[in-house]
Amino acid sequence: MNVLVLRKVLVEQPEPHRGEGMQVVRVDLLAAGAEWLALRNRAFRDENPPVRPWTPADLHREFGPASRARDRVTWLARDVAAGPPAVCGAVSISLPRPASEAASLHWLMVDPDYRGRGIGSLLLGTAERHCWERGHRVLRLETHRGWEKAVRFYIRHEYQAGR
């Protein structure tokens, strides 16, 4: 199986990360769907193993009213340093009830042109703080074992293999 499950136990409130020239905003994913979809297709276009591009139909299947995504919260990172804001990253989480269950991290992605600038850490910190503030102390995510940069990123942020 190529899916790697990682977990993190939050033992203290996560420190805020600063993103120079970045703005992180909570969004209604369907309302921001075109921006999110374009980012997703840029972020995964060169991954190995490859990921097929998504269409608006894929987005609605994953996040529309008939999906299980009603409890997801999504943030976009925008570069506001120069010119009109450009979407350069995103993250979503699902918060189950009760808070004793693990929150799930979904779709943490950064535009390849913006990688290495701390945007992933900024978004991950935003999601972790949101979980902490709502009483969730365990986060869970799934990633592909072959996406070595992503796996190293999560391990660097204290995620460990486990269910």
For the chain, domain boundaries: 3-161
- Higher pLDDT, residue 103 or 1: 103
Query: For the domain 3-161, what is the CATH code?
Result: 3.40.630.30
Collapsing DSSP states into helix, strand and coil, what is residue 103? strand
Give the chain's mean pLDDT: 89
- Whether 22 and 75 have beta carbons less than 8 Å apart is answered as no
pLDDT value, residue 16: 78
Q: What pLDDT score does 96 carry?
A: 83
The pLDDT tens digits for 58-106 are 888 888 777 665 678 999 999 998 778 899 999 999 888 776 788 999 9
The Cα–Cα gap between 20 and 41 comes to 25
Contacts by 66-71, CB closer than 8 A, 24 or more apart: 69/29, 69/94, 71/95, 71/96
pLDDT of residue 85: 85
Mean pLDDT of 105-118: 93
What is the C-alpha R_g of the chain? 15
Name which of 17-21, 84-88, 138-142, 149-153 the model is least confident about: 17-21
CB 90 within 8 A of CB 109: yes
